Amino acid sequence: MLAVVCPGQGSQTPGMLAPWLELPGTSDLLDSFSAAAGTDLVQHGTTSDAETIRDTAVAQPLIVSASLLALRTILDGRATTDVVDVTAGHSVGELAAAAVAGALDDAGAVGLVSHRARAMADAAAATPSGMSAVVGGDPDEVLAAIEAAGLFPANVNGGGQVVAAGSPEALAALAEQPPTRARVIPLQVAGAFHTPYMDAARTAFEKVATTWLATDPRLPLLSNADGAAYATLGEGAHGHGRSTDVLARLTAQVTAPVRWDLCQASLADLGVTAILELAPGGVLAGLAKRSLKGVELVAVKSPDDVEAARDLIARHSVAAGATAAEGTA
């Protein structure tokens, strides 16, 4: 059983789209994403420096575009419903996952995330804040130390990692007195995402998201809120959830914690045997390596990984097997 997962902010690197643009058709696709985003993603994905693409308003559409560019290259015209058994995305990656599931079209996902990105960048600029990864330590002690420092557990990632978010002073204090057997690592992000620091961003984004063009998911899509499939909130037209719930939770996610630990638990409960992490891959595969023992992993970083991704699909996708069986019936 194959899960396709989409990475979140911080996974971007300078020049990451350059090798993809050497492939036929990708330039036109990226141009359509640039038009949807209202920014030059070709430039940002090829020549912009690390500081430029660290800007939230740039990073988020760039990451979602990279994920979807990789997906369409890997599938080479095949429908996601013929290949993907379940999908999920971490933070901003949930918008890419919504496109994988068919709740948003690709350009629509990039356009919507651009509104999210600008709103979050504005909120981050209004009040200094940040995020730090807390790696290791007893999970309960880590959460207690984060709360005691006046911080928020913005991402509960599993695999011994929680991301704390809040004021720079509180983050510095946590780093000076970390929980026992834990390390505190500052993250290169502009603000305390998924916390009340983003209230203004959530309000601004809600005005756009609630009226955005979306359709009911066509395959299982997991929510960052609780790790459960959207179908638990209502079956929708295809049995996999309702577009209204997807848009509502994408809005709430701006200030709500990302429970990636629960998403991984759901993947385990579903019997997932392989995880394909779309570009810019690596972070989620690393978490899965620690939390989902025995699950085969492919993290797509460049076109060099496309054949490995296709091989993983061929060997693990239940949907692909069912499609092939139907074709011979």
Q: Does residue 165 sit in helix, strand or coil?
A: strand
Q: Per the residue annotation, which of 11, 65, 67, 91 is the catalytic one?
A: 91
Angle CA 59–61–64, to nearest 5:
105
- Dist. CA 194–CA 211, nearest whole Å: 22
Record the tokens describing residue 62, joined without a space.
């760039």
Record the tokens describing residue 306, joined without a space.
């496309």
206 burial class (0-12, 13-18, 19+ CB within 10 angstroms)?
middle
Task: Tell me, yes or no, if 91 is annotated catalytic.
Answer: yes
- Dist. CA 238–CA 246, nearest whole Å: 14
In whole angstroms, how far apart are CA 287 and each of 90, 156, 256? 11, 11, 20
Q: Which residues of 3-31 are buried (b: 16+ CB within 10 A; e: fewer)?
A: bbbbbbbbbbebebbeebeeeeebeebbe
Task: Tell me, yes or no, if 90 is annotated catalytic.
Answer: no
- Dist. CA 313–CA 2, nearest whole Å: 7
Whether residue 280 is preceded by a cis peptide bond, meaning omega within 30 degrees of 0, is yes
Residues 6+ apart with CB under 8 A from 94: 6, 88, 223, 224, 250, 253
Helical residues (DSSP H) of 149-293, grouped into ranges: 168-176, 199-209, 243-252, 260-270, 283-291
Give Cα 176 distance to the centre of its chain. 30
Q: Per the residue annotation, which of 194, 240, 243, 291 is the catalytic one?
A: 194
The residues annotated with a catalytic role in the active site are: 91, 194
